[in-house]
Amino acid sequence: MSSTTTNARSGPRAETGPHPLRAYYGIIAQLLAVIALIAFFAIQNPLFFTLMNFQNIGMQSSVLLLVALAGTLVIMIGSIDLSVGATVVLATLVTAIAVDAYGSLGGIGLAVATGAAVGLVNGGLMVYLKVPSFLATLGMMSVLAGIAGHLSGGIAIIYQNWAYTDLVNGSVILGLPNVATVALVTAAVLAFVSLRTKFGRYLYAIGGGEVVASNSGVPINRFKIWAFVVCGALCGLAGAMLAGQVGAGTPAAGSSILLNSIAAIVMGGTALSGGVGGPHRTILGVLLIAILSNGMDVTGVGGFTQDIVKGLVIIFAVALTTDRKKYQFIK
């Protein structure tokens, strides 16, 4: 009993997280993939390998990084949140409405609170009503789309507080756009939390083996709900940043962000079966998917073809990262 308790409380080990040596090789492989993608697209179109394009990649990937980090926390416990894109859309609309009424910080705060409320509902549906996370968040995705439609009437909500746009797209540190700074700081904080705090260790333990974690004294339900609440709050923040980038809240804002975020998470090495990976791995996954998406744009690959490529990437990455021992059967 004592050895089981030690394993659940001391952080991710072989059964609840990646072995350090294995993670090291995984990161090296991802870095080699980044270099290979850059070289390939640079050969295809010299405009890809320019400072301006890399700045575009940084701007485009900032919101995706926030959403992918959010989804990672839920996937770490072996669940999934399909409502992240819809939460981002709703948050952009809330931000667009609120920044004119309550100022920049008020708009961000309300967007984050809206996302956290969505996460609380998602977590409650799963924990207390025993609705599988896939179905709970699939239903919530539709609910949020309907709410967003009522708020916007199906058209973009353009705000007048241009100081907010300047705040999001301006630069305070090292010439980085503030939206990129927010995303990188968030990534660093979550990487620390997941690897060095009780919260992160418990998420790994739940994903690695819920029964074992429960027997070891981990408050399963509480930390499941917290994972969804933090996920929702980060999606709210992502929506606020996206509204600042485009100067409006729009119902079409998150049309591709769900697919891209899941692709980034699994490409980073976080297994959909839970307990393996984490935010520190998602950072590289986002870089890979951002370069892939931008490279296909620059080289003229059509949108439908891009969807096919990303779908195949997800299938391949899931096949590599899923721990099949956690499933008694596949159907």
Q: Looking at residues 28-32, what average pLDDT do you find?
A: 82
Residue 121 lies in a domain: yes
CA neighbor of 89 nearest in space, from 258, 226, 228 = 258
Length of the chain: 331
216 falls within a domain: yes
pLDDT above 80 (res 31): yes
Question: CA-to-CA distance for 282 and 84, rounded, in angstroms?
Answer: 16
325 pLDDT tier (thresholds 50, 70, 90):
low
Mean pLDDT value of segment 205-217? 89
Q: Does 264 map to a domain?
A: no
- Inside any domain, residue 217: yes
Spatial distance between the Cα atoms of 331 and 314, rounded to a whole number of angstroms: 18
Rounded mean pLDDT, 290-316: 87
For range 146-173, the mean pLDDT: 91
What are the start-end ranges of the H helices in the chain? Answer: 2-9, 20-44, 51-76, 84-127, 133-152, 162-169, 178-196, 198-208, 210-215, 220-246, 257-268, 279-298, 303-321
Q: Give Cα separations from 36 to 39, 244, 292 (angstroms).
A: 5, 33, 11
How distant, in Å, are the alpha carbons of 12, 217, 290 from that of 221? Answer: 19, 12, 34
Separation between Cα atoms, residue 138 and residue 135, nearest integer Å = 5
pLDDT higher than threshold 60 for residue 323: no
Q: Is position 125 within any domain?
A: yes
Is residue 137 in some structural domain?
yes
In a domain, 11, yes or no: no
The residue segments making up the domain with residue 78 are 61-254
Is 223 a member of any domain? yes
Predicted TM-score (pTM) of the model is 0.86
| Pair of tokens at residue 204 | 């790994």
Domain count, the chain: 1
Q: What is the mean pLDDT of residues 164-175?
A: 87
